[in-house]
Amino acid sequence: MEFVKTLQDSEVRILTLSRGKANALNLVMVEELIEAVRASEEDGDVRAVVFASAHPGFFSAGFDIEEVFAYGRDDMRHFFGRFMELFQRILRMPKPVVGALAGHAYAGGAFLALACDVRVMAEGDFGFALNEINFGAVLPPALRRALINTVGAREATRMILTGDSVKPGRALEIGLADEVVPIGQVLDAALKHAHRLTQKPPQAFAFSKRALQIDLGYPEAGETLDDFVTQWFSPECEERRRQLTASVKTKTQASG
């Protein structure tokens, strides 16, 4: 795989995002992640999965703006459909899944983190944000439900309607993070959580995890993307995305 590196730590598989300094998600990377998650679920020697980043400072900045924002309606529906397939596969994996967030997690990167059972964040000036409202996009039901179930209705409402970034200390207070440690200790801490959960009886863990998701009202896989796609191609969202793309290009040219 080009953008996803796989390592084994005893019974724990580490899937490391490695695409540029910010791990911007494009279709190739999403397909690689789907395959890596599928293989991890089917491998009987894997008892837990840890998602990590090869680039300290970023877990993932979200979707690749220059590539994904240029998609037409059909390509965008396909891309986001595959991304939601990835989200659902992580969410519904019957094995423990831990996120090692050694840096920023924005938009699509935050979505991946929300699908994990446990999240370890790095101390420092890092942010976690579902900032789609800032460029006129909306969240599908599964993503809204994941945030509500993680931080509660009031905090989820604030995060979604403002798009504001949550710092690690606040993330710990509201239940978004299970632990906050120095950046160099994030992976080790995540592995400790994963190894602890591998000691649970696997059938009971898998049943309880799925039963809780049903109890908590997670939508079934295969939900419609009509609302997301319609809003994505609305005039207000197209204009906000155009502005954001131009800003990114300007910053890239200035730094180059």
User: Which ranges constitute the DSSP H helices of the chain?
Assistant: 27-42, 65-68, 73-92, 108-114, 141-151, 153-162, 168-174, 186-198, 202-215, 226-232, 235-255
Q: Show Cβ contacts of residue 216 under 8 Å, excluding neighbours closer than 6 positions.
A: 145, 149
Q: How far apart are CA 214 and CA 49, in angstroms?
A: 22
What pLDDT is recorded for position 125? 97
What pLDDT score was predicted for residue 246? Answer: 85
| pLDDT at 220 (0 to 100) | 74
Q: Per-residue pLDDT averaged across 41-58, rounded?
A: 97
d(CA 174, CA 166): 10
CA 185/CA 182 separation, integer angstroms: 5
Question: According to the CATH classification, is domain 4-203 in 3.90.226.10?
Answer: yes
Confidence grade of residue 2 (pLDDT, cut at 50, 70, 90): very high
Rounded Cα gap, residues 133 and 130, in angstroms = 8
pLDDT in tens, 14-45: 999 999 999 999 999 999 999 999 999 999 99
Is the pLDDT at 110 greater than 80? The verdict is yes
Cα diameter, the chain:
54
Burial of residue 217, with CB atoms counted within 10 A of its CB: 0-12 exposed, 13-18 middle, 19 or more buried? exposed
Give the model confidence (pLDDT) of 160-212 as tens digits: 999 999 999 999 999 999 999 999 999 999 999 999 999 999 999 999 999 99
Res. 221: pLDDT tops 80: no
One DSSP character per residue, 80-148 reads HHHHHHHHHHHHH-SS-EEEEE-EEEETHHHHHHHTSSEEEEESSS--EE--GGGGT----HHHHHHHH
CA 191 – CA 70 distance, rounded (Å)? 37
Is the pLDDT assigned to residue 256 strictly greater than 70?
A: no
pTM of the model: 0.94
